[in-house]
Structure 1
Amino acid sequence: MNLRAKPTSLISVLAAAAALAIGATGVAHAQKPQAKTPAPIGVAEEAVVSGKVVDVDPQSKAVLVQGPRGNLVELVAGDEAKNIGNVHKGDIVTLTRGAAVVAALQPVDSKDTPLLEQVERVSHAAEGGKPGVMREITTTITAQITKVDVAKRMVTFRGPRETLRTVKVQDPNIDLASIKQGQMAKIVVREVVAITVKSPNAG
């Protein structure tokens, strides 16, 4: 399901759902002056936002969802619309973003230019059930390592957009002790975002 204003972006739905849950408090951060040195982006822990379906319009494929604070967001079904008839008032819509993790890390030549490539794999709920979609995003980044925490298995790197990001290293076979601050590396980051719909009495 996607926001009507941005029907192609599942990330927009998650951002809207987060806003639905916390209100407008996060907007204030955008008003702060940008620092000369960008601060690292924190590790993306799993985020879950749930809301209750309060209205369904089968013709427009729109679903009105009420968040935990009473805020309302209208979602419009995309590819999963084939099951829109199975959505009913009272159903629970859950939006989940899994923690981003480093799945691979390989040192490269220091002359390599920072770059970023993304591949997305999308799967949908089975025919006949409640609608839902899961998107696995694999991002390959050539970036400079700025910090290595061997004990916590965390790496911080500076990407092509000069943004610092800290991510947990998932693969136990990656030897972080051999990774040095300042060197370039090819990093594969994986994260999962999903939307599911369930009946309130479903286990």
Structure 2
Amino acid sequence: MIQRPIPTLAMLASLLLAAGAAHAQKTPAPVGIAEEAVISGKVVDIDANSKAVLVQGPKGNIVEIVGGDEAKNIGNVRKGDIVTLTRAAAVVAALEPLDSKDTALMEQVERTSRAPEGGKPGVMREITTTITAQITKIDTANRTVTFRGPRETLRTVKVRDPNIDLTKIKQGQMAKIVVREVVAITVKSPNAG
């Protein structure tokens, strides 16, 4: 019987990323840049009644995942299955200069998709954040922008779209920034390709 604290699916992503992000990256990223991370762990125990699964992470840490109503395929999880958390790098999808009188704002939209019935459980969450923020630094060589949003924290994000012209944005200017991030959790049998 599993007897540990019960983190939600969102808390799991944070816990696994915190425990394994340094392990997953070959070189440390500059502070504030969300780089891609892939962390896998092995299922060591399952309680189908409570929809709880214990997963041993890359450093031997054990995390309990408890699925809510969305965990329809929990009965298909077996000891030894591999749980993988993939967090894609946050990237700027749009960047538009604004009037300097604009106020810092943030709006977030999440889309969630789940694995089909009958297979192994899985979930993918795409988060699109639209932020009105002050640009504090532009690095055209590395194609990154650093901005101060409504929470007064600095964040640096990559601009991969070659159609976004960073020369039109100035330090100190307000801008509308659309950032996209994707987090996915999948479960596979150890012998599945």
TM-score over 0.5 (shorter chain):
yes
Partner Cα distance (2:100, 2:169) in 1 = 13
TM-score normalised per structure 1: 0.84
Partner in structure 2 of residue 155 of structure 1: 145
Counterpart among 171, 174, 182 of residue 192 in structure 1: 182
Gaps of 5+ in 2: 23-29
Residue range with higher mean Cα deviation, 168-177 or 136-145: 168-177
Residue range with higher mean Cα deviation, 180-189 or 163-172: 163-172
Does structure 1 residue 60 correspond to structure 2 residue 50? yes
Gaps of 5+ in 1: 24-39
Partner Cα distance (1:78, 1:198) in 2 = 19
4+ residue segments displaced more than 2 Å:
3-7, 18-23
| Identity score, percent | 76
Counterpart among 145, 151, 166 of residue 135 in structure 2: 145
Does structure 1 residue 178 correspond to structure 2 residue 168? yes
Contact 1:80–1:125 (Cα < 8 Å) also in 2: no
Partner in structure 1 of residue 117 of structure 2: 127
Contact 1:48–1:96 (Cα < 8 Å) also in 2: yes
Question: Could you say if the C-alpha distance between residues 169 and 22 of structure 1 is closer, same or farther in structure 2, counting changes exceeding 3 Å?
Answer: closer
Query: Which residue type is aligned with residue 158 of structure 1?
Result: R
Partner Cα distance (1:159, 1:189) in 2 = 12
Partner Cα distance (1:22, 1:48) in 2 = 8
Query: For 1:105-124, what aligned pairs fall within 5 Å after superposition?
Result: 105-124=95-114
User: Following TM superposition, by how much is the alpha carbon of 1:18 offset from its aligned partner in structure 2, in angstroms?
Assistant: 3.2
Cα-to-partner distance string for 1:7-44 (whole Å, 9 max, x where unaligned): 3x51x212211344489xxxxxxxxxxxxxxxx84211
**How many correspondences in the alignment?**
183
Partner Cα distance (1:96, 1:63) in 2 = 18
Query: Which residue type is aligned with residue 103 of structure 1?
Result: A
User: Following TM superposition, by how much is the alpha carbon of 1:110 offset from its aligned partner in structure 2, in angstroms?
Assistant: 0.7
Partner in structure 1 of residue 36 of structure 2: 46
Question: Could you say if the C-alpha distance between residues 19 and 43 of structure 1 is closer, same or farther in structure 2, counting changes exceeding 3 Å?
Answer: closer
TM-score normalised per structure 2: 0.88
